[in-house]
């Protein structure tokens, strides 16, 4: 493998290219017209424009990406995450053109891309599942009978989706019909597939996921868990590894369950098996993401393994060179997704120019970044600017370092999630480890954050005034 095309943009494109470069592999960037001056374009050995700004005219054009790959004699394509990373047709297209797709085979992507097909696939592998129906349902009366049987509250979920789309919590039978119609409509609009299913709603859950890696020789290992319970709109914002509440026994049980899920679909490469953990520490299979996750750096830091390097080695046919026994958890890592979003306004995207953009540096601080000062934030893509990751010997150390790093991260011109990240890290529920996926609903409001920022501004002004008075006294001292 001498040349890899990275079919993505921003921080993940650079992240993949760094490892490829380290391995002596040349890189090709593809970019839209909106990203012409983006850092990932400059970082690659070669770069080709593939279309207009909207992703359906550029980053989602698998045919154009294959065309570029063939013209530049590319051996493999790394899809990153998002865009074409979980597109079975694109994986097949790569195979057709004898280009290695650095990811799972189309069959695994198809199975795990449908929550219903995934449940069916893992059923025979003794994987704990949330009680519910395992077939798509559209009949409201039938849905009511099922919901009454498993007991309210229930969750209506889109089979084809993720990111909270097509998902509705229903507390009582009288709300079922309207919520079901909304879920079907939303799922049809977002995924072109209105299939929904019903399962028991797990109250106060934690969102725990297991990083797995599988080679083409039947070896599957896991890299422990990530805690992903701090979310807004069902999407993660703060992640950490390891989780503060898993015992060694539970960690092992969940790890082995994740390995069985991977085996259930003949998995290849890096993947993540997601679980819900209830208040009694029972865990249930949620879904499998058939790609590298945004939050993979925290697993890399606690395991000491470059997961992208392993992905590439597996894709070129090498067996895993480490066993489960070789792996252990060392220290603690925390990640904040730095989005150009306004936490004061329901986390809506914030567009504009990065008038000031300076990332923090120092021991234990890692920034996977995709932007530079004076860049415009394009409205066409996910608004994530970077991932801020901190690593310490203990969870407490990683949290304190994160607060310090947030304070040293300078962004002006757009709103960002930095202040929200600091709010999380300073909150007693998070620091104690006693939190769940309802953290934002239970503890956060824009007014609380606004008050906190005002207090910090007052304190900073007082410190500055005190320093000014001291300086004036010094200046007045006689020679």
Tally of structural domains, the chain: 3
> Is residue 306 domain-shared with residue 267, that is, in the same domain?
yes
Strands 3-6 and 26-32, bridge-based pairing: parallel
Give the whole-angstrom CA distance, residue 369 versus residue 253.
35
Domain boundary among 200, 219, 239: 200
Strands 206-214 and 196-200, bridge-based pairing: unpaired
Cα dihedral 363/365/370/371 (nearest 10): -80
| pLDDT-based confidence at residue 471 (cuts at 50, 70, 90) | low
Give the whole-angstrom CA distance, residue 122 versus residue 120.
6
pTM across the whole model: 0.89
> Is residue 241 domain-shared with residue 384, that is, in the same domain?
yes
Quick check: is 456 in a domain? no
Percentage of the chain exceeding pLDDT 90: 78
> Is residue 176 domain-shared with residue 263, that is, in the same domain?
no
> Is residue 236 domain-shared with residue 332, that is, in the same domain?
yes
Average pLDDT of the residues in 412-438: 97
- 453 or 153, which is more confident: 153
Give the Cβ contact number of residue 5 at 10 Å: 26
The residues annotated as belonging to the active site are 291
| pLDDT-based confidence at residue 336 (cuts at 50, 70, 90) | very high
CATH number at residue 370: 3.30.470.20
Domain boundary among 200, 218, 243: 200
Domain boundary among 200, 220, 251: 200
> Is residue 193 domain-shared with residue 326, that is, in the same domain?
no
pLDDT, residue 468, reads 61
CATH number at residue 190: 3.30.1490.20
Tens-digit pLDDT profile for residues 46-81 = 999 999 999 999 999 999 999 999 999 999 999 999
Model confidence at 477: pLDDT above 60:
no
pLDDT, residue 453, reads 77
DSSP 129: B
Tens-digit pLDDT profile for residues 119-163 = 899 988 999 998 887 788 888 888 889 998 988 999 998 888 766
pLDDT, residue 476, reads 60
> Is residue 275 domain-shared with residue 180, that is, in the same domain?
no
> Is residue 172 domain-shared with residue 233, that is, in the same domain?
no
Quick check: is 370 in a domain? yes
Average pLDDT score, the chain: 93
CATH number at residue 27: 3.40.50.20
> Is residue 185 domain-shared with residue 214, that is, in the same domain?
no
Average pLDDT of the residues in 422-433: 97
Helix 307-315 / helix 10-22 crossing angle, nearest 10 deg: 70
* DSSP E strands, 201-331: 206-214, 220-232, 235-241, 269-277, 283-289
> Is residue 50 domain-shared with residue 193, that is, in the same domain?
no
pLDDT, residue 115, reads 84
Tens-digit pLDDT profile for residues 278-311 = 999 999 999 999 999 999 999 999 999 999 999 9
Q: Name the maximum alpha-carbon separation found in the chain.
A: 92
Domain that holds residue 135: 131-200
> Is residue 352 domain-shared with residue 234, that is, in the same domain?
yes
Strands 76-78 and 168-170, bridge-based pairing: unpaired
Cis bond upstream, residue 132 (ω within 30): no
Quick check: is 309 in a domain? yes
Cα dihedral 246/249/250/253 (nearest 10): 150
Q: Does residue 91 contact residue 112 with C-beta atoms inside 8 Å?
A: no
Find the range with the poorest average confidence among 177-181, 314-318, 338-342, 462-466: 462-466
pLDDT, residue 162, reads 67
Query: With the C-alpha atoms ordered 90, 92, 97, 103, is the resulting torsion angle positive or negative?
Result: positive
Quick check: is 475 in a domain? no
Find the range with the poorest average confidence among 158-167, 225-234, 355-364, 388-397: 158-167
| pLDDT-based confidence at residue 472 (cuts at 50, 70, 90) | low
> Is residue 296 domain-shared with residue 212, that is, in the same domain?
yes
Q: Does residue 216 contact residue 176 with C-beta atoms inside 8 Å?
A: no
Q: Look up residue 28 and give its two tokens.
A: 């090709």
Quick check: is 225 in a domain? yes
Quick check: is 126 in a domain? no
> Is residue 82 domain-shared with residue 97, that is, in the same domain?
yes
Quick check: is 30 in a domain? yes
Average pLDDT of the residues in 379-406: 97
DSSP conformation letters of 86-106: T-HHHHHHHHHTT-EESS--H
Quick check: is 459 in a domain? no
Give the whole-angstrom CA distance, residue 361 versus residue 380.
29
């Amino acid at each position: 493998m001498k040349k890899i095309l990275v079919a993505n943009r921003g921080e993940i494109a650079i992240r993949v290219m760094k490892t490829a470069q380290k391995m002596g592999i040349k890189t090709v960037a593809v970019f839209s017209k909106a990203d012409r001056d983006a850092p990932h374009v400059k970082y690659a050995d070669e770069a080709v424009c593939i279309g207009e700004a909207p992703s359906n005219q550029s980053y989602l054009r698998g045919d154009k990406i294959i065309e570029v790959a063939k013209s530049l004699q590319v051996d493999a394509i790394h899809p990153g995450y998002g865009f074409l990373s979980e597109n079975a047709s694109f994986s097949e297209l790569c195979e057709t053109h004898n280009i290695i797709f650095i990811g799972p085979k189309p069959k695994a992507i198809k199975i795990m891309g449908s929550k219903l097909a995934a449940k069916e696939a893992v059923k025979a592998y003794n994987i704990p599942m949330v009680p519910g129906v395992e077939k798509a349902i559209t009949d409201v009366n039938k849905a009511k009978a099922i919901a009454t049987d498993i007991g309210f509250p229930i969750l209506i979920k889109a089979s084809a989706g993720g990111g909270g789309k097509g998902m509705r919590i229903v507390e009582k039978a009288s709300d079922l019909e309207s919520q079901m119609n909304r879920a079907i409509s939303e799922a049809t609009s977002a995924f072109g597939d209105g299939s929904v299913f019903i399962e028991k709603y797990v109250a106060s859950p934690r969102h725990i996921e297991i990083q797995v890696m599988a080679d083409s020789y039947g070896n599957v290992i896991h890299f422990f868990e990530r805690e992903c319970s701090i979310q807004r709109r069902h999407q993660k914002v703060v992640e950490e590894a390891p989780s503060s509440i898993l015992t060694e026994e539970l960690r092992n049980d969940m790890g082995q369950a994740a390995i069985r899920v991977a085996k259930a679909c003949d998995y290849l490469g890096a993947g993540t098996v997601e679980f819900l953990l209830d208040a009694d520490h029972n865990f249930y299979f949620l879904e499998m993401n058939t790609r590298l996750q945004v939050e993979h750096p925290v697993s890399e830091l606690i395991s000491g393994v470059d997961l992208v390097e392993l992905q590439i080695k597996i894709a070129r046919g090498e067996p895993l060179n480490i066993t489960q026994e070789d792996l252990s958890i060392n220290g603690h890592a925390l990640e904040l997704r730095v989005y150009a979003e306004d936490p004061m306004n329901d986390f809506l995207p914030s567009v504009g120019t990065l008038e000031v953009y300076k990332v923090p540096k120092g021991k234990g601080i890692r920034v996977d970044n995709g932007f530079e000062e004076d860049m415009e934030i394009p409205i066409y893509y996910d608004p994530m600017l970077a991932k801020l990751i901190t690593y310490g010997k203990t969870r407490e150390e990683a949290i304190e370092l994160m607060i310090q790093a947030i304070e040293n991260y300078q962004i002006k011109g757009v709103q960002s999630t930095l202040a929200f990240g600091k709010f999380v890290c300073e909150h007693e529920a998070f620091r104690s480890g006693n939190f769940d996926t309802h953290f934002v609903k239970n503890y956060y409001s824009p007014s609380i954050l606004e008050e906190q920022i005002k207090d910090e501004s007052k304190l900073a002004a007082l410190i500055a005034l005190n320093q000014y008075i001291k300086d004036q006294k010094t200046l007045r001292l006689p020679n």
